[in-house]
Structure 1
Amino acid sequence: MKFLKLSLAASVALGAFSTASFAQPLEDAIKGIDVSGYLRYRFNSDYYDNGNNNSNSKNTHRWKAVADFKAPVADNVAFNLGILYNNESNNVNHGNTYPGQGSGLGSGKDGSFGVSTFNAVITPDSTATTVIIGKQRLATPVTNAGDDDRGTGILALNSDLEGFTFAAGAFDSWSIDDVHKGYDLGDNLGTSVTKPLYALAGIYGVDTAYGHFGAQLWGFYIQDIVDGLGFGELSWTGSTFNAALQYAIASLNNDAGDVLSVVHPNGNPAGRANIPEANDLFVINLGADFAQEYNVPLDVKL
């Protein structure tokens, strides 16, 4: 592994040593690194939601930039680094008490910048196993890696059995982007959930002449939040059409003093959340993607 060259590259990038003698080591250090990402701008307005009342409308400019760096595998280990800029609170409030003035004025603060992922990926030769250690995106049925859901811990994936993938993960801190603002439960403000999250999964997939058939079963435990959460799915994907059946069941921990009772007290004198402990959900997904078969960029979901 090129620890020396990577360290040297970082020093040159920071301007600590800017002599021509380091040009070749820097070139070697960055050779083979895969870079991917995107830039996105979005303007949101709730003008029509407020009955066309401009005095109460709120307009925001939302900026997001993602850059992921993946180093080549050396001695069965690869390193990943992700940089994220996500500023979605640039309020240009046209109905502000002071006319024409809003927080950010279209640019906003630059505090929403940081490291989104930082991990090592280990792939031994003797087994079809991948172990990811560090800060990583959480791609599970109950989280959304595309929306910056991430955790710090370890995830192991094994595919020694043909068609099967088994997963086990443990994270001591994690964050999701859509929980309640104002609580230390993880959101775009940069806070994280400090309760451990554990996950086990079995995933199966097979390609046939009639399309791809898949199945997956997940189990989760989150200390002081979820005593048990299960998710199952049966799916089929053809050249154009697709369908899926999903079922989820959860046993929530809403004891007094635990996380959910703080977020959802609902005026309960005992301090308990007014949330049923047992919850379940059944979903049917039907869809059609016309891009592959008909070269039409149309994807329909029901």
Structure 2
Amino acid sequence: MKLIRLSLVAALTAGAFSVASATPVEEAIKDIDVSGVLRYRYEGANFDKDFPGRKSDLMMSKQNHLYRAQFNFSAAIADNFKAFVQFDYGAKDGGYSNEATLNEKKTLAVRQLYLTYTNEDVATNVIAGKQQLNTIWTDNGVDGLVGTGVKVVNNSIDGLTLVAFGVDSFMTEEQEGDMSGFLSNIMGSSIGNIYGAAAIGSYEALGGDFNPQLWLAYWDNVGFFYALDVAYSTTIFDGVNWTLEGAYLGNSLDNDTQVGSDNGNFFGLRGSIEVAGWDASLGGLYYGDKDKYTMTTIEDQGNIGGVLAGQEIFYSQGSNLTGSMGRNLFGYITAGYTFDETVRIGGDLVYGGTETAAHIGGGKKFEAVARVDYKYSPKLDFSAFYSYLDVDADKNGDGDHNAIRLQALYKF
């Protein structure tokens, strides 16, 4: 272990170990694995004065500096048992902002804390405690939704991972707008635990890689959720890689979940090709109901990024994946070129529309996104995007929205 890591762990754990045991700190922590994330974001956005519909789910502030730090500690504490704790810190500086609060921070807090039991004889892990959910309906990145519960993961069948879970006590405060729309209206009601299962496969078939996922979940007092994601990739010619991915997410909501709500159905399909540093994709999406509120994901855009494109369009009114009133049909293309396997320059074009019986949110929508990604090292990445979103509403005029994000991400 590097000296800098040993010093950091010692500083964070010295008090606990010195009180609980006479064992020297360096001896007690020598088997602790340390990892983490440091992230900085600059965001800026503005709206045309005639921009229709609700703006709150889109990137709003004219200028924001966002900071995130996470420190993870994992240690074997007994035979077959490991303990994991994640400390998290976030802050925001508003600068030139629309918001009244220009500086906002939260103290260092325990974000995840769980115990893992491993039985190698049956290739099974049991994870109990406060943990990130990592489902198809939630974000699996740094900001993913956290809940308290039990997860069982089994890998006894070659090429297949089986998962079962039950969670409650969802940490929604840090998500802010990521759980907006439909879901924010029901969070205050008497919702219960989520119980679910998944089968995630990884096989070689027909000369390529076949990766299916099946997810089932029941959210007490909300409804039954189900999802299927299937991806197939292969090399069709020398040096030409081709991928096809399709996803369906559906749900059957309880009748009293929310007045004016209906069951959700999402269909997404994307074909991609890579050759000699170039990449391109073509895809389409269909979801929602023009007369009633529906939802596709529980948090943000879930873990269905493989069939999405664009950036801000899925936060616009009528199109929000976490819940909106509107029937959506979009098509998109993406393209890019990667230099020396380190710098990618590319863009997305998304076009379609939202049909709604209400006088808000409906109309034609178009988004163009320019992207730059720079992999400086295996641990350090820089990225940036610029998004131009135009909404031509049926009854409420039209307007555009511009947004930019610069990001530095370090993982250790």
TM-score by length of 1: 0.71
- Within 5 Å, which residues of 2 pair with 1:248-267? 248-255=249-256, 258=257, 261=258
On the 8 A contact 1:173/1:194 being kept in 2, the answer is: no
Asked if structure 2 preserves the Cα contact closer than 8 Å seen for 1:288 and 1:299, the reply is: no
Match of residue 140 from structure 2: 145
Equivalences for 1:79-98 in 2 at 5 Å? 79-88=83-92, 90-94=93-97
- 1:63 counterpart = 2:67: yes
Q: Is the 8 A contact 1:196 1:223 kept in 2?
A: yes
Equivalent residue pairs, number: 255
The answer for the alignment partner of 1:280 in structure 2 is 265
Measured after TM superposition, the shift of residue 73 of structure 1 is 6.5
Deviations 1:252-279 (A, max 9, x none): 2351xx4xx3xxxxxxxxxx2x222x22
Aligned counterpart, 2:161: 165
Q: Following the alignment from structure 2 to structure 1, what is the Cα–Cα distance between the partners of residues 12 and 35?
A: 23
Alignment of 1:38-57 (within 5 A): 38-47=37-46, 49-50=47-48
| Equivalent in 182, 193, 197 of residue 194 of structure 2 | 197
- CA-atom RMSD, angstroms? 3.6
Q: Decide which of 81, 85, 101 is 1:77's aligned counterpart.
A: 81
Letter in structure 2 aligned against 1:152: T
- Contact preservation (8 Å) 1:34, 1:71: yes
Equivalent runs, 1:152-301 vs 2, <5 Å? 152-175=148-171, 177=175, 178-180=178-180, 195-207=192-204, 210-226=207-223, 228-238=224-234, 240-255=241-256, 258=257, 261=258, 272=259, 274-276=260-262, 278-288=263-273, 296-297=341-342, 298=344
Q: In 1, Cα distance between the equivalents of 2:227 and 2:163?
A: 14
Q: Partner of 1:5 in structure 2?
A: none
Partner of 1:71, secondary structure, is: strand
1:126-183 per-residue CA deviation (whole Å, 9 max, x = no partner) reads 2110111001111111111212212110000112122222111001222352112995
**Quick one: structure 1 residues 12 and 179, their matched pair in 2 at CA, closer, same or farther if it must change by over 3 Å?**
closer
The whole-number CA distance in structure 1 between the counterparts of 2:267 and 2:152 is: 28
CA contact (8 A) 1:287 1:300 kept: no
Contact 1:119–1:134 (CA under 8 A) maintained in structure 2: yes
Moved more, 114-123 or 193-202: 193-202
For the residue of structure 2 that corresponds to 1:111, the secondary structure is: strand
Superposed displacement of residue 206, structure 1: 1.1
User: What secondary structure is seen at the aligned counterpart in 1 of 2:26?
Assistant: helix
Letter in 2 for 1:38: V
Unaligned 5+ segments in structure 1 are 1-8, 97-101, 262-271
Structure 2 residue aligned with 1:4: none
Distance 1:300 1:208, change over 3 A: farther
Name structure 2 gaps, 5 residues minimum: 1-9, 50-59, 236-240, 279-337, 349-412
Distance 1:45 1:185 in 2: 30
- Partner letter of residue 202 of structure 2? G
Q: Which amino acid aligns with 1:40?
A: R
Query: Secondary structure at the residue paired with 1:28?
Result: helix
Answering whether residue 38 of structure 2 is matched by residue 35 of structure 1, we say no
**In structure 1, the residue corresponding to 2:119 is in which secondary structure?**
coil
What's the counterpart of residue 116 of structure 1? Answer: 111
- Cα distance between partner residues in 1 of 2:34 and 2:186: 31
> Quick one: which amino acid aligns to residue 72 of structure 2?
D
- Gap change, CA 1:12 and 1:37, over 3 Å in 2: closer
Supply the distance in 2 between the matched residues of 1:291 and 1:37 (Cα, whole angstroms). Answer: 34
CA distance in structure 2 between the aligned counterparts of 1:137 and 1:12, rounded to whole angstroms: 23
The structure with the greater share of residues assigned to strand is: 2
Report deviation, 1:238.
Answer: 3.7
Cα distance change, pair 11–111 in 1 and its aligned pair in 2 (3 A): closer
Which structure is higher in RCO with an 8 Å CA cutoff and minimum separation 6?
2
